Amino acid sequence: GAGVSQSPSNKVTEKGKDVELRCDPISGHTALYWYRQSLGQGLEFLIYFQGNSAPDKSGLPSDRFSAERTGGSVSTLTIQRTQQEDSAVYLCASSLGARKNTEAFFGQGTRLTVV
Residues near 14 by Cβ (< 8 Å), separated by ≥ 6? 82, 114, 115
Q: How far is CA 87 from the centre of its chain?
A: 14
Is 12 or 80 the residue whose CB approaches other proteins more closely? 12
| Least gap, CB of 70 to other proteins (angstroms) | 20
Which residues make beta-bridge pairs with 101?
none
The size of the interface with other proteins (CB under 8 A), counted in residues, is: 27
User: What residues from 36 to 95 belong to the interface with other proteins (CB under 8 A)?
Assistant: 41-43, 45, 48, 50, 56, 91, 93, 95
Cβ burial of 39 (10 Å; 0-12, 13-18, 19+) is exposed
Residue ranges in contact with other proteins by CB under 8 A:
4, 6, 31, 33, 35, 41-43, 45, 48, 50, 56, 91, 93, 95, 98-101, 103-109, 111
